[in-house]
Chains A and B, each alone.
Chain A
């Protein structure tokens, strides 16, 4: 059993309370890892009151061996027993002192189920209440400053506002137009198939126009903005937060809300309706194009669309986009300002901004649907 590079164990039950574990050989990582499970299986089975550990045969021992001794000590303590290490060579004893971590900092004791669950519910409730509180106070603060700015246009940072509007508005015209056009084409094709059965293909134009003006135009544009602009706002402001630039603004006496949030908000509120109109226009164009290939004259189609829709459809849709713009910018900026620390914080904020604003947009759209229903719009 005794090999030069091996370790071995021997387990004896001396009497009722005392048991003896003899360890010999080389206690390094490799040997220990094969002995470890065996030893603890024995301990578990026999549950010794006093465990005598005879280490006289140990001729090499490193951190792994010491780890084993310490673990044994801990296990014995757990089982309300004790461990006596005998004849460990002094040089290894020294190691023991070096490595002995003393009172290990333990993860907090998990309290019983009945204590834990209410506590956790309470905790998460206070945390989410605090979050809701911070969001509400943010929305309030921003809204007051937003109104103030509308009446004191001199205090607005025009240069920033135009730059932001250009970046998130003008540069998004292409993608919104393309998206609108494709949706127009797709809607026209899809509905044409069903309408053909009734010989009512001309009504495809009605359908596409109404759907675009009232729902799809505003929603699609808002989604594009949430993905393009909301995330950009969160990332920009988040990066500034991490670079302490937001702190710098504060201690320079320039409130971050007025400086960073209001220009973005105003830009978003102005560009969302404009982009929606582009989206609508190109959607209609796409639809008309499809229907021309089906043999309709353009003028017929335009007349049809004029009959089918009225200004309420158009403006009802556009009214929503002001709110969508406000939500996208507000959520983006809030997520940016709430950015934590670390490398992934900015990415997290941007993700959170997109997800939250898409949810907020859909919820707001639902509320509008109910309001419009009761108003008969």
Chain B
């Protein structure tokens, strides 16, 4: 990842609120093409909320989210479809469609956005499964997969349309440390070999040090970003007590 890569996501001055309750205020940051970008912070500080606002599930009160130059906040109809076809999302609990097998889950997007014949779609689906290490599990139902396999399947589905950006909400949640580490490895592999940009919400330090190129840290009190930068640098150089505590205490404990 080189430093002068171009920005693929620009978040400009967004303020997000649920009714009267402001969760985040005046947030600004950029994500560079090809980097693994991690959003971290304590529980309930608005990580998922921020992520949802970047993928059009929540409308911020003010501000813009530019994805590859196009504002996803105001986009509608075909314009929104275009932007959405360029991103993939993996949800915290995988969100595979329970009534379809894994291949059908992946093909669903392909059916919607392409005119490929069925066998071509299945081939593509199987290719995605190969990449995430799930070859052979394609005709299983989501309920037959373990937690880690579900997450892999969800990543495969997120990759269906060859997106430039993949968003992940707490990929390690509910997984044992080894499975979680394998998932991190997969993310790094995809980032390196396919130059996919990753935006990841997590608070697992192991994971952060293993994969993150850059992090932002959200704070519940001030509803803003309290730190930005490379995790190793933040651990060693940050002067903010909260940030120091977060990086050091857990790092010592583990």
Contact = CB atoms under 8 A, between A and B. Distances in A.
Interface of A: 240, 243-245, 247-248, 250-254
Q: At the interface, is chain A mostly helix, strand, loop or mixed?
A: helix
A248 B113 contact: no
B91 A244 contact: yes
Nearest to B85: A253
Best-buried of A240, A243, A244, A245 by chain B (most CB within 10 Å): A244
B157 to A, nearest CB: 8
Given A251-B87, A251-B89, 6 more contacts: A243-B93, A244-B92, A245-B97, A247-B89, A252-B89, A253-B85
A55 B56 CA distance: 62
Contacts of B87: 251
B117 interface: no
A251 B108 contact: no
A252 B109 CA distance: 6
B91 A254 contact: no
Nearest to B55: A251
* Interface size band for B: 20 to 34
B95 A245 contact: yes
Interface string B60-84: 0000000000000000000011001
B84 A253 contact: yes
Contacts of A240: 97-98
A296 B97 CA distance: 57
27 contacts: A240-B98, A243-B95, A244-B91, A244-B93, A245-B95, A245-B96, A245-B98, A247-B52, A247-B57, A247-B89, A247-B95, A248-B95, A248-B97, A251-B55, A251-B56, A251-B57, A251-B84, A251-B87, A252-B84, A252-B89, A252-B108, A253-B84, A253-B85, A253-B112, A254-B108, A254-B109, A254-B112
Interface in B88-117: 89, 91-93, 95-98, 108-109, 112-113
Contacts of A252: 84, 89, 108-109, 112
A250 B56 contact: yes
Contacts of B113: 253
Nearest to B48: A244
Contacts of B91: 244, 247-248
Contacts of B109: 252-254
Nearest to B87: A251
A64 B93 CA distance: 43
A251 B80 CA distance: 9
B57 A250 contact: yes
Nearest to B113: A253
A91 B202 CA distance: 42
